[in-house]
Structure 1
Amino acid sequence: MMKRASLVLLGCALCLGLGEAAAAGLRVQVVDQTGAPVTEAVVYATPLSGKMAHGKPAGAIIDQIQGRFVPFVSVVQTGTAISFPNKDNVEHDVYSFSPAKNFDLPLYHGVPANPVVFDKAGLVVMGCNVHDKMIAYLLVVDTPYFAKTDTTGFASIDRVPAESYKLTVWHHRMTDANAMPTQKVAAGADATTIFSLQLKAQ
């Protein structure tokens, strides 16, 4: 455990099927040092066997509504194409200088002609060149098994093959975004995983 306390991740792997089509669901709860639920934490599971489901990732959308990115936090699989519709009555310029994806969509209304393909895993922090308060976070992961916590601090990763995984959690208020805590979890067997990390004050 890290010396500084406090984010707790409770992971429960629930078996949902047997036989060749065996699948499991990973149910996770994230709370802070006071026991309060943490919303918009990203949880993803990487098979320890290295076997990944094949197929092209589905596309995704990050809107611009009333001067905000919606959703504020997103998670997608590597190779996902994301569209950035501007639904405001003013122009936005969406950009990122993040190592995982450096891009710029010059001032525009409506929907850009081409989506942006995120072909490298990592954290992408996005902003608007003309509205400094606009910011959003996108975590690009190599696995198709991921979810975000809701307002109650719970997240479910449904229908993952029944095997062992490395479960990882990330939140935009972590003091060190590069030190994401991990824990091995066996899908199909009840398990509780506790992570300890320091969150920045809001």
Structure 2
Amino acid sequence: MVKGRIVSALCACAMSSSIWAADIQITVLGSGGEPLENAVVFLKSDALIKQAKPQTGVTMAQQDRAFIPGLQVVTKGSAISFPNQDDVRHHVYSFSPAKTFELKLYIGKPKDPVVFDQEGIVELGCNIHDTMLAWVLVTNTSVYGKTDANGLVTFSGQPSDTYDVDVWHRSFPYGAPFETAQVALGKTDVTQTIRLDSGSSF
């Protein structure tokens, strides 16, 4: 079953130069029809999910009272370290259903990393510094990309298959799931426009 809210999608096909693989071009629009830059788009199929492995050496640091990077994408089962590189203590936490945890007041590097073992969107904060905010997107595929200023992202050379497409943008309300769509890829390139529904905050 496809999770999340269903989005409206328009498909058009063009000939590909390869008979074995083709490109998927996806444009993400807001509910008002405007292109969305820096939307994260995930491409998922049974084959891609089987290939995905937990990542190693992933960090989400705190520096200058900010999370670095502010957005981290990991495959399910990956562990993230949270080194504090500031000279003040931080208290990192998340109440998100995909991962609830606390790293209470500390300086330096916590002894154990945090394992993100459930797919979903994890919003991070600091209990001491309210302006600190970051996200961890936990997925079961390693194939993803960010949209450009035109709301476009391209996945090149994908084999023929039916793909689920998950979309996230930082403007989503707290607790909102990934937006979802589906695309069938044969031996021709596919161009798909995903317009997020009115349930998202844009």
Which of residues 75, 78, 91 is equivalent to 1:77? 75
Q: CA 1:172/1:36 → structure 2, altered by over 3 Å: closer, same or farther?
A: same
- Residue 67 (str. 1) matches residue 65 (str. 2): yes
Report the alpha carbon displacement of residue 46 of structure 1 after superposing the two structures with TM: 1.2
Quick one: structure 1 residues 8 and 80, their matched pair in 2 at CA, closer, same or farther if it must change by over 3 Å?
same
Number of the residue aligned with 2:124? 126
- Given that 1:122 and 1:141 are in contact with CA atoms closer than 8 Å, whether structure 2 keeps it comes out as yes
Secondary structure of the 1:143 match is coil
AA at the equivalent of 1:180: E
TM-score by length of 1: 0.75
| Counterpart secondary structure, 2:50 | coil
Root-mean-square deviation (CA, aligned residues, Å) is 3.4
Alignment-mate amino acid for residue 141 of structure 2: T
Measured in 1, the distance between the counterparts of 2:124 and 2:13 equals: 33
Q: Which runs of 5+ in 1 are unaligned?
A: 1-5
- What is the rounded CA distance, in whole Å, between the counterparts of 1:58 and 1:123 in structure 2? 19
TM-score when normalising by structure 2: 0.75
Structure 1 residues 55 and 98, CA gap change in structure 2 (3 angstroms): closer
Letter of the structure 2 residue corresponding to residue 183 of structure 1: Q
Matches of 1:11 and 1:174 in 2, distance apart? 27
Identify the residue that residue 179 of structure 2 maps to in structure 1: 180
Measured at CA, do residues 10 and 79 of structure 1 come closer, stay the same or move farther in structure 2, by a change above 3 Å? farther
Deviation at 1:7, TM superposition (A): 9.4
Query: Gapped runs of 5+ residues in structure 2?
Result: 1-6
Measure, in 2, the Cα distance between the counterparts of 1:17 and 1:114: 47
Match of 1:39 in 2: 37
* Paired residue type of 1:190: D
Distance change >3 Å, CA 135–CA 154, structure 1 → 2: same
Cα offset, 1:148, TM superposition:
2.8
2:54–2:74: 8 Å Cα contact kept in structure 1? no
How much has 1:31 moved relative to structure 2? 4.0
Cα distance in structure 1, aligned partners of 2:72 and 2:11: 21
Deviations 1:104-153 (A, max 9, x none): 11122222222111011111111001011111121211122222335564
Higher relative contact order (CA 8 A, sep 6+): 2
| Residue 142, structure 1, aligned to residue 143, structure 2 | no
Please say if residues 83 and 115 of structure 1, whose CA atoms lie closer than 8 Å, have aligned partners that are also in contact: yes
2:198 is the alignment partner of 1:200: no
Distance 2:18 2:59 in 1: 32
- Give the whole-Å Cα distance in 1 for the aligned partners of 2:176 and 2:74: 17
The number of residues matched between the two structures is 193
CA contact (8 A) 2:89 2:106 kept: yes
| CA–CA distance in structure 2, aligned partners of residues 38 and 70 of structure 1 | 23
Deviations 1:17-65 (A, max 9, x none): 77xxx66664444344566542331211111567520544344222222
Residue among 92, 97, 101 paired with 1:103? 101
The answer as to whether partners of 1:14 and 1:26 remain within 8 angstroms in 2 is no
Once residues 15 and 64 of structure 1 are traced to their aligned partners in structure 2, the CA distance between those partners, rounded to angstroms, is 45
Letter in 1 for 2:36: V
Aligned to 1:3: none
